[in-house]
């Protein structure tokens, strides 16, 4: 699935667009089964005094089924238009808001958590359930990616916040099976799930093959290479073991540093 001119223009100017019906009913059923198996024992994250949501990281490492979908042509091919000929699967995570999850995720940029160079990569949010204003869909500040990485400060538990002004943003409601594609520099947030239905999202991020962690200067070659020379790899390649300890240590140092220098 290559992108058309309107989609590329939307990404450049507004910082996001939606791909509708990327995955069909059979594919969604298979994805949900693998996703739910991992979320049987989730981390629970949330603001103090509010009901948490459920979280798990690196689903593609935990499940061959989810690895196959995360590196599928349906997701990787559009990345060639946005990132160039050499692409890595940078990160993926489950964010599930069960009925009654009242905790928000505040305004932030994805690159506000673990800084990389080049600064921009691409986040794809797969809607495993339809997302609405009532069940906690994403809200986006269109065009915010043009301002680059903004200072972030720590909030309750794991959260970072990069904006505290009056901008309300725009809600992005999605049909199940659709994919919201946005820049790692685009400011976004999510609200609570006020419904009796779950709101399950699978967040998958892609970066250029030459992307480096700013903390260490090291190329992210521990992430799966999924395209080389403009061609999708039949078998994605991890050029060294994934550095989970280094990843967590770097994120912690950034978090502590920001807490000492709040914005």
61: pLDDT strictly greater than 70: yes
Q: How far is CA 116 from the centre of its chain?
A: 14
Nearest one of 205, 80, 180, 169 to 127, comparing CA atoms = 180
Mean pLDDT score of the chain: 91
The C-alpha atoms of residue 49 and residue 173 are separated, in whole angstroms, by 27
The pTM assigned to this predicted structure is: 0.93
Q: How many domains does the chain divide into? A: 1
pLDDT in tens, 192-235: 999 999 999 999 999 999 999 988 899 999 999 999 999 999 99
Residue the block writes with tokens 């990787």 = 76
3-state helix, strand, coil in the chain (%, to 5): 25, 30, 45
The C-alpha atoms of residue 21 and residue 127 are separated, in whole angstroms, by 10
- The CATH number for 12's domain is 2.60.120.620
DSSP SS3 for 24: coil
The H or E element that residue 133 is part of is none
For residue 221, count other CB atoms closer than 10 A to its CB.
17
Residue the block writes with tokens 């290479």 = 225
Domain that holds residue 180: 5-260
Dig out the tokens for 195 from the structure: 């419904």
pLDDT in tens, 247-259: 665 555 444 444 3
The C-alpha atoms of residue 18 and residue 69 are separated, in whole angstroms, by 18
- One DSSP character per residue, 53-66 reads EEEEE-HHHH-HHH
The C-alpha atoms of residue 262 and residue 165 are separated, in whole angstroms, by 15
Cis peptide bond prior to 162, omega within 30° of 0? no
Question: 263: buried, middle or exposed (CB in 10 Å: 19+, 13-18, 0-12)?
Answer: exposed
pLDDT in tens, 104-159: 999 999 987 778 999 999 999 999 999 999 999 999 999 999 999 999 988 766 67
């Amino acid at each position: 699935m290559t992108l058309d001119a309107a989609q590329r223009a939307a990404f450049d100017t507004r910082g996001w667009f939606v791909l509708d019906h990327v995955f069909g009913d059979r594919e969604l059923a298979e994805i949900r089964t693998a996703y739910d198996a991992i979320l049987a024992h989730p981390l629970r994250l949330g603001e103090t005094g509010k009901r948490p949501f459920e979280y798990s990281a690196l689903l593609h490492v935990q499940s061959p089924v989810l690895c196959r979908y995360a590196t599928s042509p349906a997701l990787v091919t559009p990345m060639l238009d946005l990132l160039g000929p050499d692409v890595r699967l940078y990160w993926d995570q489950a964010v599930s808001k069960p009925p009654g999850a009242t905790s928000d995720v505040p305004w932030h940029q994805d690159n506000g958590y673990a800084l990389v160079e080049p600064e921009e990569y691409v986040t794809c949010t797969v809607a495993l359930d339809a997302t609405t204003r009532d069940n906690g869909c994403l809200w986006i500040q269109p065009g915010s990616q043009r301002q680059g990485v903004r200072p972030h400060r720590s909030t309750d538990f794991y959260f970072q916040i990069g904006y505290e002004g009056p901008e309300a943003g725009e809600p992005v409601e999605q049909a199940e099976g659709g994919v919201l594609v946005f820049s790692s520099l685009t400011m976004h947030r999510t609200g609570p799930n006020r419904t009796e239905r779950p709101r399950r999202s699978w967040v998958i991020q892609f970066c250029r093959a030459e992307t480096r962690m700013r903390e260490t200067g090291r190329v992210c070659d521990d992430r799966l290479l999924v395209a080389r020379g403009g061609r999708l790899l039949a078998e994605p390649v991890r050029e060294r073991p994934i550095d989970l300890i280094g990843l967590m240590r770097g994120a912690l140092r950034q978090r502590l540093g920001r807490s000492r220098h709040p914005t």
